[in-house]
Amino acid sequence: MIPGTFTFSSIEKIIYGQPAAQALLNEVERLNAKKVFLIVSGTMNRTTDEVLKITQLLGPLFSGLYDRMPSHTPREAVLESSALARRAQTDLIVSFGGGSVTDAGKLMQICLRHNIQTSEQLDQYRTRVESDGKVTSPSFEGPLIRQIAIPTTLSGGEFQAQGGCTDTQSKMKHSFRHPLIVPKITILDPLPTLHTPMWVWLSTGVRAIDHATEGLCYPNDNPVSDAHFIKALNLLSQALPQVFNDPKDMKARLDCQLGVMLAMKGREGGAQMGASHSIGHVLGGSFGVAHGFTSCVMLPAVLQFNRDVNHERQKKVAKAMGYPGQEAFAVVASLIAKLGLPKTLTEVGINEDQFDMIAHKAMHGSWLHTNPKKINSPNDVLKILRFAS
C-alpha cells in the first residue's frame, strides 16, 4: 500500500467563469458582511474601472481601500493596510490583484486578529527555517475576519494557507502559516485579467507550471495528486501559448486559471515544492526579481540538477506537456522561450558575484530541504545557479 494523507484546506468555495463584481456581491450578502475592505492592484485601480465596478456594486457595504502594495509584500505596507482596515472596522477583506496583493490579504488577517502594529510584533508569527532544514512554526489563533480573493495573475497563492512577506531590513522573504489564512472564497474571472501585463500573466503561468512540476517530481507521489498535476501541466502548456497568440481568448485564460487551481490542489496530498521555489524566494525577496521570472530561470536548472534521481518522474512532466520521450528541462525551457520570457539569471539582473549570497540565504528555505535530490550545502545550490546562468 501507498501511505499518505490528504489535508484539505479551509477554502469554502471556488467560483469560476462568472463576472467578478456580481459574484463578489452575492458572497458578501450571503456572508452578511457589512464593512468590506479592498486591497487591490494600484495600476488596475488607477488605470481601469474594474475596482470602481466593485465599489459601486457594493455601495454602502464598501468600507475602505488600499492600492499601494509593492511586489513581494513588504512588511511596512502590510502594517499600513492593516491599520486602515482596523480603522474601518472591516469584517471582510477582499484582495483583487496579483500574488503580492493576495499574500497581503493573508497577512492582514493575522495582523487584525492579533492587533499587530509593528514589524517586531509581526516577527513573532513567522515560520523559521534553519540552514539544516529544521522548521519551527509558531502556534497562534486563526483569523476571525476572513478573505475573498479575486486573482489577476497565475501565481496561485489564493489556494494555499501560507503567505509570503518581505522584511526590508534583512531583505528576506518570510513565510507565515495558518490553516485559516487561505482565502475562504476565490473568484476566477478571466475578463479583468485583460488588464494584466502580458509578461506578468505568462511568467506567473510558468510559476504555476513550476508548482505542478515540482509537485509531480516529489518522491512521495500518489495517484490523486498526480492526476491534478498532470492535468494542470496539460492545460497550462496549451493555454499559455494560446493567450500569447490571442490575448482576448477568454477560454484559454480561464483554462490557465483552472490549471493553477489544479496545480495547487494537488499539493493537498502532501507533495512538497523543491529548490526552484526555495531559490526563487531569495531571488524575489532579496533581489527584487519578479515572482514569475524566478520560475522561468530556475525551474529548468533544477530539473537538470535533479535528473539523476527522478528521471522517471520527469518523464511524466514532458508527457503531460505534450512531448513524451523528451527531457523535461528542455520541454520547459522551450515553452519559456516560445513565450518570450527570460531564460537565464543574467537576463533578470543576477550576476555571478551574487551567487554566494543567494546560495547561503537559500539554505534557510524549507523547500530547499524537500528537494528530490538532497542539498547538503551552499555548494550544491551554486551548481544549480550555474545551470541557470
| Maximum Cα–Cα distance across the chain | 60
Sorting pLDDT into bands at 50, 70 and 90, what band is 3?
confident
The pLDDT value given to residue 7:
87
Q: What local confidence, expressed as pLDDT, does residue 5 receive?
A: 87
Confidence check: pLDDT of 313 > 80: yes
In this prediction, residue 193 has a pLDDT band, given cuts at 50, 70 and 90, of very high
Q: Which pLDDT belongs to residue 147? A: 98
- Whether 1 has a pLDDT exceeding 80, the answer reads no
- pLDDT tens by residue, 219-249: 987 899 999 999 999 999 999 999 999 999 9
Percent of all residues in the chain with a pLDDT value above 70, rounded to a whole number: 100
pLDDT higher than 80, residue 194: yes
**Listed residue (46, 44, 101) closest to 78, CA to CA:** 101
Q: How far apart are CA 72 and CA 328, in angstroms?
A: 29
Reported confidence tier of residue 345, pLDDT bands at 50, 70, 90: very high
- State pTM to two decimals: 0.95
SS3 175: strand
Give per-residue pLDDT as tens, 142-161: 999 999 999 999 999 999 99
pLDDT grade, residue 166 (50/70/90)?
very high
What b/e string do you get for 351-375 counting C-beta neighbours within 10 Å, with b at 16 or more?
Answer: eeebbeebbebbbbbbbbbbbbbeb
Domains of the chain: 13-188 (3.40.50.1970), 197-387 (1.20.1090.10)
What pLDDT does residue 6 have?
Answer: 87
Q: Which residue has the higher pLDDT, 32 or 134?
A: 32
Pairwise CA distance, residues 247 & 238, whole Å: 14
pLDDT digits (tens, 9 = 90+) for 63-105: 999 999 999 899 999 999 999 999 999 999 999 999 999 999 9
What percent of the chain clears pLDDT 90, i.e. is strictly above it? 92
Q: Residue 285 has what pLDDT?
A: 87
Residue for cell digits 489535508? Answer: 7
CA-based nearest residue to 155, from 73, 221, 198, 210: 210
User: Is 46 buried (19+), middle (13-18) or exposed (0-12) by CB count in 10 A?
Assistant: exposed
**DSSP for 68-82?**
---TT-BHHHHHHHH
| DSSP reduced 3-state for 327 | coil
